């Protein structure tokens, strides 16, 4: 029983500690930053005013006001950098740090000269006058342009857009490659079909040629067999000459079995011409003997 009571008492103690930690977590609040933020805007507003006063006073005419406006724009970029540096990381944080630091350095220097002149502690020297008239505008404009480009290029949204553009470009390239391959496949298919049709037509022509050639060969063989089966040499040579057949090496052949004739008769006893009487070997076996 004692061990059970200790177990339950330990469980209740752990539960109380847990609830106590949860209450402390709920009561914990981070320090408010509204005052530093307010003072930051006041500080940068003062720097912008002093910068504009310096250039509008030391540089007469519209050129001085334009230089003052560029200085205020530089102050705005510096304020943007200092405000967002704690909300950034990577290359964007590095760009904000460098651009904000350089622009603040020039802003504080300009504001110092302007403030000393405003309170009467020191007058603006000739060197500062020359700098404000000749160097300040192109220098501030260059720094402002470089800062804007660097911040824009390293901004997370721009990097995301660049990555999306790269992905979309890859997709378009793949689609174009697939479309090209499809067109090539279709063109190759058309060429293959044309080649197949050509082969079919060629084969058909060759078959027709072979059929005609067989007919011609059969006809020539029949002519030669008919001529060689004539027992009369004079008549055989005359008919061979008229038909253009050379019989110098040809011998008379039996019209029925094609064997060489001996003394004008077929020597094969089984031959139909031989059974007709020997000398009738040149007769057509389809015609009856009278």
The pLDDT score that the predictor gives to residue 218 is 86
> Above 60 in pLDDT, residue 277?
no
**Angle CA(130)–CA(54)–CA(75) in degrees, nearest 5?**
110
The pLDDT score that the predictor gives to residue 228 is 80
Contacts of residue 240, Cβ cutoff 8 Å, sequence gap at least 6: 227, 246, 247
Whole-angstrom distance, CA of residue 5 vs CA of residue 200: 101
Residue 287 Rama label (left phi>0; alpha psi -120 to 50; beta): beta
The pLDDT score that the predictor gives to residue 289 is 38
Burial of 33 (0-12, 13-18, 19+ CB in 10 A): exposed
Whole-angstrom distance, CA of residue 110 vs CA of residue 46: 12
**2-11, 26-35, 74-83, 255-264 — most confident range:** 74-83
Could you report the per-residue pLDDT of 110-119, keeping only the tens digit for each?
889 888 888 8
Mean pLDDT of the chain, nearest integer: 80
Span of 7-21, 84-98, 107-121 with lowest mean pLDDT = 7-21
Q: What percent of the chain has pLDDT over 70?
A: 77
The pLDDT score that the predictor gives to residue 285 is 39
Average pLDDT over residues 272-286: 46
The pLDDT score that the predictor gives to residue 247 is 63
The pLDDT score that the predictor gives to residue 180 is 92
Instruction: Grade residue 97 by pLDDT with cuts at 50, 70 and 90.
Output: very high
Could you report the per-residue pLDDT of 132-164, keeping only the tens digit for each?
888 889 999 999 999 999 999 888 888 888 888
The pLDDT score that the predictor gives to residue 66 is 92
pLDDT higher at 76 or 276: 76
CB 78 within 8 A of CB 103: yes
Could you report the per-residue pLDDT of 185-234, keeping only the tens digit for each?
999 999 999 999 999 999 999 999 999 888 888 888 888 888 888 788 77
Average pLDDT over residues 237-259: 67
Is the pTM above the cut of 0.85?
no
What one-character-per-residue DSSP string does 128-193 give?
HHHIIIIIHHHHHHHHHHHHHHHHHHHSHHHHHHHHHHHHHHHHHHHHHHHHHHHHHHHHHHHHHH
Could you report the per-residue pLDDT of 67-76, keeping only the tens digit for each?
999 999 999 9
- Centroid of chain to Cα 160: 21
Q: How many residues does the chain have?
A: 290
């Amino acid at each position: 029983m004692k061990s059970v009571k200790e177990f339950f008492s330990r469980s209740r103690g752990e539960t109380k500690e847990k609830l106590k930690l949860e209450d402390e977590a709920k009561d914990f609040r981070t320090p408010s930053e509204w005052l530093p933020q307010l003072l930051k805007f006041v500080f940068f507003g003062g720097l912008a005013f002093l910068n504009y006063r310096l250039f509008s006073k030391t540089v007469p005419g519209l050129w001085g006001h334009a230089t003052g406006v560029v200085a205020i724009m530089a102050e705005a970029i510096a304020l943007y950098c200092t405000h967002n540096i704690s909300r950034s990381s990577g290359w964007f944080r590095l760009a904000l740090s460098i651009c904000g630091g350089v622009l603040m350095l020039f802003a504080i220097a300009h504001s110092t000269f302007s403030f000393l002149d405003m309170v009467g502690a020191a007058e603006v020297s000739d060197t500062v006058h020359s700098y404000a008239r000749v160097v300040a505008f192109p220098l501030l404009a260059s720094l402002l342009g470089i800062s804007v480009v660097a911040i824009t290029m390293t901004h997370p949204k721009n990097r995301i857009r660049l990555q999306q553009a790269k992905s979309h470009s890859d997709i378009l390239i793949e689609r174009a490659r697939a479309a090209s391959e499809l067109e090539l496949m279709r063109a190759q298919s058309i060429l293959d079909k044309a080649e197949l049709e050509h082969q079919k037509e060629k084969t058909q022509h060759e078959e027709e040629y072979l059929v005609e050639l067989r007919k011609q060969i059969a006809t020539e063989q029949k002519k030669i067999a008919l001529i060689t089966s004539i027992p009369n040499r004079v008549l055989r040579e005359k008919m061979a000459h008229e038909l253009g057949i050379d019989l110098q090496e040809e011998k008379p052949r039996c019209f029925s079995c094609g064997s060489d004739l001996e003394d004008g008769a077929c020597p094969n006893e089984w031959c139909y011409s031989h059974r007709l009487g020997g000398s009738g070997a040149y007769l057509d076996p389809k015609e009856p003997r009278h």
